[in-house]
A and B are shown apart, each in its own frame.
Chain A
Amino acid sequence: MSFVRVLKIVGAYVALVFAACLSLILYLRVDRVPGRHEETVVSVWQSGARVARQVGTNPDALLTNEAKLPGATRVYEHILGEGPILALHPLVMGASLVPERDGLKVTYEGRVAYATPDDILKLQAYEPMDIVAGVGVRLSVDSRRVIAALASELRVKEADLTEKGVFRRIAVQRKVIGASSANDAVTADNLREAVLAAALYLARHLQPDGLFRYEVDATSGQALEGYSWPRHAGATSFLTEAGDHTKNAEVQKAAVIAARRMSQFTTGKCGERSCVGEGDQVDLGSSALALLTYAELVRTGIGPEFRADVERIADFIRSQQRPDGEFMHFYDRIGRRAIDMQVQYYSGEAALALARAHRVTKKPEDLAAAKRALEYLVSKPALFVGARYYWAAEHWTCQTLEELWERAPNHEALRFCLNWQEFIRAGVIEGRVAAPEYEGACGRGPFLSPRLTLSASRMEAGVATLAAAKLAGISAGEIETLENQVRKTLGFLLRYQLRPGPSHLMPDPKAMHGGFPGSVTELRVRIDFPQHAGAALLRYLKLLESRRE
């Protein structure tokens, strides 16, 4: 066969595939023009539960009496468009909705039921982690749970529904009646309110024994299993900084109680030295973030009682440092030896903690250790292009840069952090048609909703880099680009803070007030979510305030 013939065959094939793909796109697409809709699903929610629902073309006339129930919220979910579902296989159906934007409509023997975005959020069934062919895949929706909910709504068996039901995707625009839109203005006043709300969330969830309610599902009000000492220490650190800035007594008191818990019950012996953690093997992160907290408590005068803790934990962290500046991240208490293994975050945390501790201890060895750690973290490894930690978890590194700048400026570290922010900017969501509210968020792929903590931790570093860049006299253009990015991303965080957020889905919205959820679709608040977001907002607030002075 001649090559020309081969070219013709391949060309025809490509044209055929192109036409088929175009047909598929046109078949699946739905219109999302805001305001252009015929039907509206009207729901009334009370204490986090849906108590009534009607569907019609004149929503204002529906469920008016139910809306008068005490504490009731009426929600309109306008159906902007409908599209087909190709198959009910969990993999296909699971990828057939846009998270937080799309729901399902099923028609079964003449009856119709809806699983709207609110229903799916309430189920917490968006973006589940599923195992497909042995690989963890994050789909758009847990179709099994949604189908089960629809079957329950129609009072039929799931098997009957999947066999005889006709499923359609619906694109929805939500309007909560009586709710004001989220305040995402990046102004000093709004930042102040947001920071205090985040700190009060943590203070409210601190129990008398000094432990936080670690993770709370906003849609059920239930605390979830698990605890992490590095996160306890991190949350306490934010409480201290926020308590110092806001002068709020409740926040300051919570910081001291949570720090005492670490100091009195979780500090043990690592050989001759003191370290924070439980069990036979402890990690460096718990001690590092505890040191960060103790240093802040002493420096701000909120907790002078922790001065001795600063000295002894700093001593332990220094002992974990290798000559090249890297840290050994674990300690074997039984064998009384450091374990030279590394995981993400801990080296940056230790560097920042030592830099802060130096302000209290004034020991040159603390400053020297912090400097050496920063130098190591921003140096290029000889055989690996992904920086020391995959070019992904540098938020502590860049905060260390800023913390040390006035005492030990490191221009290489500044360039490293500016480059890292440029890399982050490339992944910031802009102009996503299906979800304009995600504008400014650090994305985690084109098909998933953004996680708030990713944006938050990167903006902690972003603001720190911005502050150091200003001090270093970096060009105005580069600073402006960075600041624009910071403001956009902070705006996204403010938009999704639970002030109050989708409070109609929560049994106890007051308890959740000020928290930051894991993502746009994951309405769970773990203690490190408000910590990182609150700390990022507080950093920028301080920067704005310093300009006024």
Chain B
Amino acid sequence: MTSSTLRIQRVFAIANLLVAIVFAAAGFALPARFWGVDLPLAATVLGLTVASVLVFARPGLANKALTISSWILLAFGLLLLTIVVFSMAFLIGVHGEFGIMGVLVMCLVGALVVPYAVLYPMFGLFVFGRRAEST
């Protein structure tokens, strides 16, 4: 394993840990507990954390662990996005067109979810998929 590969894996491991901390804090801050939210959130936080630990503890498994954690995060991100988009579709169905404010709300929510929970894991899959193919 080259040193550049190791460096990239470690950068992803740290970034994954940061995402896990943000999600854990957000989940902890929720005012009520509901398994439908807690379970996927806990699975995502756990998956990201375990993968990060494996990168440092078992470098041989790093590529596989980061690929799986990227899939977990992507699944969670798409689930979150689906809920947001369906909520917006419901409200559009009820209220009809609701102007620029509604579009802004939608864009804001999207901007909070898409880069970190959809684009980031897709980038991870791109990087580690290519590395898996080349090895």
Contact = CB atoms under 8 A, between A and B. Distances in A.
Interface of A: 1-3, 6-7, 10, 13, 17, 20-22, 24-29, 32, 83, 86, 95-98, 133-135, 140, 169, 427, 429-434, 443, 445-447
Given A6-B126, A446-B98, A446-B101, A95 B91 contact: yes
Contact of B97 (A2, A20, A24, A433): A433
Contacts of B89: 20-22, 24-25
Contact of A429 (B99, B122, B126): B99
Interface string B107-135: 00000000000100010011001100100
Given A6-B126, A446-B99, A28 B90 contact: yes
A28 B93 contact: yes
Nearest to B133: A2
A95 B98 contact: no
B95 A98 contact: yes
Given A24-B90, A133-B30, A32 B96 contact: yes
Tell me which of B34, B89, B99, B122 has the highest count of chain A C-beta atoms within 10 A of its own C-beta. Answer: B89
B31 A24 contact: no
A446 B129 contact: no
B56 interface: no
B82 to A, nearest CB: 5
Nearest to A29: B93
B28 interface: no
B88 to A, nearest CB: 8
Given A3-B130, A10-B78, A446 B32 contact: no
Tell me which of A2, A86, A135, A140 has the highest count of chain B C-beta atoms within 10 A of its own C-beta. Answer: A2
Contacts of A22: 89
Contact of B129 (A6, A98, A133, A443): A6
Interface string B67-106: 0000000100010011001101111111111110110010
Given A3-B129, A13-B78, A134 B99 contact: no
Contacts of B129: 1-3, 6
21 contacts: A1-B125, A3-B129, A6-B125, A20-B89, A21-B89, A24-B86, A27-B93, A28-B94, A29-B96, A96-B94, A97-B94, A133-B30, A135-B31, A140-B94, A169-B94, A432-B99, A433-B98, A434-B98, A446-B98, A446-B99, A447-B91
B95 to A, nearest CB: 6
A98 B91 CA distance: 10
A13 B85 CA distance: 13
A458 to B, nearest CB: 16
A445 B93 contact: no
A512 B28 CA distance: 48
Contacts of A140: 94
Contacts of A98: 94-96
B96 A433 contact: yes
Contacts of A446: 91, 95, 98-99, 101-102, 105
Tell me which of A98, A427, A447 has the highest count of chain B C-beta atoms within 10 A of its own C-beta. Answer: A447
Contacts of A97: 94
Interface in B27-79: 30-32, 34, 74, 78
A21 B125 CA distance: 27
B93 A25 contact: yes
